[in-house]
Amino acid sequence: MKNQEIAKLLFDIAEMLELQNIPFKPRAYQRAARTIESLSENIEDIWKRGAILELPGIGESIAEKIVEYITTGKIKYYFDLKKKMPMDVEQLGKVPGLGPKRIKLLYDKLNVKTLADLKKAAQDHKIQRVASLGHKVEESILNGISFAQQQKGRALLGYVIPQVEELRQKLQAHPSVKKIEIAGSYRRKKETIGDIDVLIVSSQPQKVMDFFVQMNDVARVLAHGTSKSSVLLNNGMQVDVRVVKENEFGSALQYFTGNKEHNVELRKLALKKGLTLSEYGLFTLKDKKWVAGKTEEDIYKKLGVDIMPPEMRENMGEIDAGKRHTLPNLLDYGSCLGDFQVHTEWSDGQDTIEAMARAAEKLGRKFLVITDHVGQVGITNPLNEKKLEQQSKEISRVQKKVDIRIFHGAEVDILKDGRLALGKLWQKKLDVVLASVHLATKMDSVAMTKRICVALENNRVHILGHPTGRLLNRRDSYALDFGTLFDKVKKTETRLDIDCHPERMDLSSVHIKAAKEFGCRFAISTDSHSASELRNLHLGEALARRGWLEKKDVLNMYSVKEVETILGKK
DNA sequence: GCCGTTTTCGGCCCGACTGTTTTCAGTCG
């Protein structure tokens, strides 16, 4: 699958065009890159169908370059640009305060090509002698270089939630803070969070901002104004705070929730209606008369769009659906009745079956599927058939003591040829077979897709576990042809696992949405290895909502009786 | 370079903060 490679090249082209001060073209390339990046279908397949030009943001010229890459493995235009741009734009761009203009300037004047060149130029005080730059810029660059070097990707939603809630409480406690909301990707419940956007209503902005930049976990102040301030915390997280007036709260919340592309679309829509939208409100274009802004609902309503939950605001068709009144009725938080994947001390988990069951019961779950490992991956301490037999007895014993239905399942390895690492007899005996790929993960797309499809054709497989195998910030998805895969999932009536372990979040919301369009159904699991992780189920609900899922799409929403019936059919 | 219920040509989202500029450019989100 060449989608990500092509997207990366288009992003790079955009960056190089920006360096040359060329207007508008970079935005076109960025838009095309984002389209390709978020495709679930293989771009080659789309090309074979002759449908590349139907993709949003892709016209004749960019389509030609995509085809060139598919057929020859390179894009000449990219190499020509690259020849003219010998500096490491990607690395240099990570330094706060360095954008395309300054990167170009530093190259022209000081021949800065790499972070090392930049550091030397700053240390030798050459930067402050360049016209339009000064000693403050030089200092900020010097400070920023180490930041650029240690940047480690985005924070994981599941791990960031407690930190953010602590920050919220600290700020909320300040007497001048009237209202507070965390916006940005945090509010959209994105799998990974780049920075924290905090929105505050206060009649004394200066006091709030002074308090904010002086909090004791602040490592560095990036900006300190009355309406906008930014800091870096000791844990490396960037926090932006904006203070607005009461009647601007809705428009500010809308704006700072984003995402960026969603906002751009919304603003274009406003312009078409003779209005202009900003964080301060919706105004008439002509005489800047205030139209809406107190609440988000008012703004969307005036624009003729049904308001959608923050999780959907990714410019993935939600604005169109809002216009046509066809938004899905997303499943609610807290509506999962059970959990389809937990591990116990029988394999690589930390707690007993009884401890897991009791903890799940306490959280209000109605059912729990015990899925210890079965297969060949030594580190997971897999069960053999004899152990499964013993475990079955233990589950019966615990079942009598708790008021939650415990299903006996297993997470079974899918072998290289698509067979399961478990005999037919036990495949039938188990209530739930969750089949996952754990070994030989580097196969090419054709082989991996075939392997998984073979497993799906086994009518004892109920759920495909963590379907792409990704680990956030660490490992990409297996090579897969998602179109073929989703088609097979639909035909075999298997469920796709939404594994909401904070480090997996697999499927991604983009793939969930695509799979739903193929007619697939889903099962959410925490993949817990200890009782404390059971509470992560809401992360799976967040993923499902971001993928536009409704109650009927997700097996966790069904009653214990219905789940028994559905599982029994397989 | 893309796109079209004001357009196939002429637009392309909007505003705050910073530094070095005495009126604004660059960066960021």
Measure, in angstroms, how far nucleotide B11 C1' is from residue A264 CA.
Answer: 15
What's the CA gap between A364 and A446, in Å, rounded? 43
DSSP A68: H
Contacts of A194 (CB under 8 A, 6+ apart): A154, A155, A185, A238
Domains of chain A, start order: 3-150 (1.10.150.110), 155-244 (3.30.460.10), 254-323 (3.30.210.10), 338-568 (3.20.20.140)
Report the pLDDT value the prediction gives residue A244, as an integer from 0 to 100: 92
Q: Residue A486 in contact with residue A494, Cβ under 8 Å?
A: no
> Which residue has the closest alpha carbon to B3 C1'?
A57
State the nucleotide closest to A95 in CA–C1' terms.
B27
pTM of the shown model: 0.83
Measure, in angstroms, how far nucleotide B23 C1' is from residue A132 CA.
Answer: 14
Q: Confidence class of residue A85 from pLDDT cuts 50, 70 and 90?
A: confident
Measure, in angstroms, how far nucleotide B28 C1' is from residue A396 CA.
Answer: 59
* H, E, C per residue of A525-567: ECCECCHHHHHHHHHHHHHHHHCCCEHHHEHHHCCHHHHHHHH
Rounded to 10°, the helix A25-37/A60-72 angle is 50
Q: Out of A55-59, A188-192, A399-403, A552-556, which region has the weakest mean confidence (pLDDT)?
A: A55-59
Measure, in angstroms, how far nucleotide B23 C1' is from residue A268 CA.
Answer: 30
Burial A160-192 (b: 16+ CB within 10 A, else e): bbebbeebeeebeebebbbebbbbbbbbbbbbe
Report the pLDDT value the prediction gives residue A145, as an integer from 0 to 100: 81
pLDDT per position as a tens digit, A452-499: 999 999 999 999 999 999 888 777 788 888 989 999 999 999 999 999
State the nucleotide closest to A59 in CA–C1' terms.
B2
pLDDT per position as a tens digit, A253-280: 999 998 888 998 898 889 888 888 989 9
* H, E, C per residue of A246-257: HHHHHHHHHHHH
What's the CA gap between A33 and A114, in Å, rounded? 25
| Pick from A548, A550, A490, A549: nearest CA to A520 | A490
DSSP A129: G
Measure, in angstroms, how far nucleotide B5 C1' is from residue A272 CA.
Answer: 10
Measure, in angstroms, how far nucleotide B15 C1' is from residue A535 CA.
Answer: 40
Report the pLDDT value the prediction gives residue A148, as an integer from 0 to 100: 73
Measure, in angstroms, how far nucleotide B16 C1' is from residue A96 CA.
Answer: 16
Contacts of A162 (CB under 8 A, 6+ apart): none
| Pick from A397, A330, A408: nearest CA to A368 | A408
CB-count exposure of residue A51 (10 Å: 0-12, 13-18, 19+):
exposed
What's the CA gap between A408 and A264, in Å, rounded? 49
Whether omega for the bond prior to residue A259 falls within 30 degrees of 0, making it cis, is: yes
State the nucleotide closest to A62 in CA–C1' terms.
B1
What's the CA gap between A238 and A219, in Å, rounded? 10
Contacts of A480 (CB under 8 A, 6+ apart): A1, A445, A448, A449, A452, A467, A468
State the nucleotide closest to A97 in CA–C1' terms.
B27
> Which residue has the closest alpha carbon to B13 C1'?
A264
Q: Residue A382 in contact with residue A374, Cβ under 8 Å?
A: yes
State the nucleotide closest to A55 in CA–C1' terms.
B2
Whether the predicted pLDDT of A539 surpasses 90: yes
> Which residue has the closest alpha carbon to B14 C1'?
A278
When the pLDDT of each residue in chain A is averaged and rounded to a whole number, the result is: 90
State the nucleotide closest to A243 in CA–C1' terms.
B16
CB-count exposure of residue A148 (10 Å: 0-12, 13-18, 19+):
middle
> Which residue has the closest alpha carbon to B12 C1'?
A24
State the nucleotide closest to A229 in CA–C1' terms.
B17
State the nucleotide closest to A56 in CA–C1' terms.
B2
Measure, in angstroms, how far nucleotide B21 C1' is from residue A149 CA.
Answer: 31
Report the pLDDT value the prediction gives residue A152, as an integer from 0 to 100: 63
> With pLDDT > 70 as the criterion, what percentage of chain A qualifies?
98
Q: Which two tokens stand for residue A237?
A: 């997280």
What's the CA gap between A269 and A488, in Å, rounded? 39
**Phi then psi dihedrals of residue A128, to 5 deg:** -65, -15
Measure, in angstroms, how far nucleotide B4 C1' is from residue A271 CA.
Answer: 14
Return the top range by mean pLDDT from A9-18, A50-59, A388-397: A388-397
Give the other-Cβ count within 10 Å of A213's Cβ: 18
Measure, in angstroms, how far nucleotide B17 C1' is from residue A212 CA.
Answer: 16
Residue A156 pairs with which residues in a beta bridge?
A192
State the nucleotide closest to A96 in CA–C1' terms.
B27
Whether the predicted pLDDT of A368 surpasses 80: yes
Number of helices (H), then strands (E), belonging to chain A: the values are 24, 17
Q: Taking CA A20 as the corner, what is the angle to CA A18 and CA A23, rounded to the nearest 5 degrees?
A: 55
Burial A472-496 (b: 16+ CB within 10 A, else e): beeeebbbbbbbbbbbbbbebebbb
Residue A511 pairs with which residues in a beta bridge?
none
Measure, in angstroms, how far nucleotide B14 C1' is from residue A257 CA.
Answer: 15
Report the pLDDT value the prediction gives residue A313, as an integer from 0 to 100: 94
Q: Confidence class of residue A525 from pLDDT cuts 50, 70 and 90?
A: very high
pLDDT per position as a tens digit, A196-252: 999 999 989 999 999 999 998 888 888 899 999 999 887 778 899 999 999 899 999
The CA-atom distances, in angstroms, between A63 and each of A38, A49, A140, A261, A400 are 16, 13, 40, 21, 63
With H, G, I as helix, E, B as strand and everything else as coil, classify residue A48: helix
State the nucleotide closest to A230 in CA–C1' terms.
B17
What's the CA gap between A307 and A296, in Å, rounded? 8
pLDDT per position as a tens digit, A400-444: 999 999 999 999 999 999 999 999 999 999 999 999 999 888 888
The mean pLDDT value for A292-298 works out to 92
The mean pLDDT value for A131-138 works out to 84
Measure, in angstroms, how far nucleotide B5 C1' is from residue A285 CA.
Answer: 19
Chain B positions with a protein C-beta closer than 7 Å:
1-3, 5-6, 11-21, 25-29
| Pick from A502, A409, A515: nearest CA to A154 | A502
> Which residue has the closest alpha carbon to B27 C1'?
A97
What's the CA gap between A420 and A400, in Å, rounded? 31
Measure, in angstroms, how far nucleotide B15 C1' is from residue A168 CA.
Answer: 25
Report the pLDDT value the prediction gives residue A378, as an integer from 0 to 100: 66
Q: Which two tokens stand for residue A14?
A: 């955009």
